């Protein structure tokens, strides 16, 4: 691949990654709030169903990555544990979108490095350089400031968002511990291939118990809003695309590039969501979110230098 073609290819991948990540966030908000389809567990089940099917097609038929088999019962139980934690983080994130604007959801989500460092220390006793921990102060401080300046602040939504962010960080640390054995390591695409069906199996009974009238409302809202079906399908495909492009961007660039792009993605998502949903923002809220993003960027840089 020539240098010019390679740049176009990588640029297209990054654009698709941005569109997938921001798109799934905005469509989640649209379905959960604007269309009145308040069933975050069912929505997560749709995402996981799409991830199950599309992962199988991508790996088995299109051979995006080599297929990796589960080698033991122990490895399966480890993957199942990761799947349930991952599932909890997605459900929590979707629940929070019912009550919080996307902009504030992204501000809270930016604190993932804080929880990752916390769980890494508690579970593996891994210590970072003091300057790395110092960079987490503005990460947390920014969210506290943003919370105080958020006109649409909702306590339950905030708790769900924090829980989802913590669960996401917990899953990444847990993955490093459970699948640390060379014989048990799976790339992220094969891990999704196994995790997604397990999540669907876990979510089906949860939907019937916690959202018993989902099918009735689903049909009713679908008749009232003709495009809801298309939005739901597109939303579910984007959920898989976000995972696939995340893997590909890391493969063709680097983990550091992904982190930098991720920080910028959060800011882009905030701006786009404010323009689309017209949710009110304050100077204090914007200042708090900016502080958090700067703290995350500094944290990533210090980890690269001192680890």
In whole angstroms, what is the distance from residue 25 CA to residue 94 CA? 9
Report the half-sphere exposure of 35 (CA within 13 A, side-chain side). 28
Structure tokens at 73: 């019962």
Domain with 281, as residue range(s), is 3-306
Structure tokens at 30: 């649209």
At residue 205, the pLDDT reads 96
Angle, CA 23 vertex, CA 153 and CA 27 arms, to 5°: 60
The predicted-structure confidence for 141-175, as pLDDT tens digits, reads as follows 999 999 988 898 999 999 999 999 999 999 999 99
Q: How far is CA 301 from CA 136, 137, 176, 296, 297, in A?
A: 12, 15, 21, 9, 6
At residue 300, the pLDDT reads 84
Specify whether the CB–CB gap between 29 and 102 falls below 8 A.
yes
- The mean pLDDT values, 10 residues at a time, for the chain of 307 residues are 80 93 94 86 97 96 93 93 96 94 92 92 87 90 90 94 95 90 88 96 96 89 84 95 91 77 84 89 90 89 79
At residue 221, the pLDDT reads 82
Q: Nearest Cα to 237, choosing from 50, 15, 19?
A: 50
Say how many C-beta atoms besides its own lie within 10 A of residue 182's C-beta.
6
In whole angstroms, what is the distance from residue 19 CA to residue 268 CA? 10
At residue 307, the pLDDT reads 65
Domain count for the chain, please give it.
1
Structure tokens at 11: 């640029």
At residue 4, the pLDDT reads 81
């Amino acid at each position: 691949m020539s240098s010019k073609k390679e740049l176009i290819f990588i640029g297209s991948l990054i654009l698709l990654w941005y569109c997938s990540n921001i798109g799934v966030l905005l469509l989640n908000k649209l379905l959960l709030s604007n269309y009145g389809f308040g069933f975050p567990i069912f929505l997560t089940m749709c995402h996981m169903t799409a991830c199950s099917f599309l992962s199988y097609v991508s790996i088995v038929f299109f051979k995006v990555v080599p297929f990796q088999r589960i080698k033991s019962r122990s490895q399966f139980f480890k993957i199942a544990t990761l799947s349930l934690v991952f599932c909890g983080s997605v459900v929590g994130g979707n629940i929070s979108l019912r009550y919080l604007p996307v902009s504030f959801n992204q501000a809270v989500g930016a604190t993932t490095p804080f929880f990752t460092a916390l769980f890494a220390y508690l579970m593996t006793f891994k210590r970072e350089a003091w300057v790395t921990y110092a960079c987490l102060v503005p990460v947390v401080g920014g969210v506290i400031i943003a919370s105080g300046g958020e006109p649409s602040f909702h306590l339950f939504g905030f708790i769900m968002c924090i829980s989802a962010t913590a669960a996401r960080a917990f899953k990444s640390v847990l993955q490093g511990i459970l699948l640390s054995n060379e014989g048990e390591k799976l790339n992220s695409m094969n891990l999704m291939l196994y995790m997604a069906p397990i999540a669907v199996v876990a979510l089906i009974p949860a939907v019937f118990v916690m959202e018993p009238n989902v099918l009735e409302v689903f049909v009713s809202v679908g008749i009232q809003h003709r495009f809801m079906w298309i939005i739901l399908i597109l939303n579910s495909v984007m959920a898989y695309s976000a995972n696939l492009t995340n893997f590909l961007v890391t493969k063709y660039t680097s983990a550091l590039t992904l982190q930098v792009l991720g920080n910028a993605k959060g800011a882009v998502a905030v701006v786009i969501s404010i323009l689309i949903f017209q949710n009110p923002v304050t100077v204090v809220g914007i200042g708090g979110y900016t502080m958090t993003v700067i703290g995350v960027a500094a944290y990533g840089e210090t980890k690269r230098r001192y680890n």
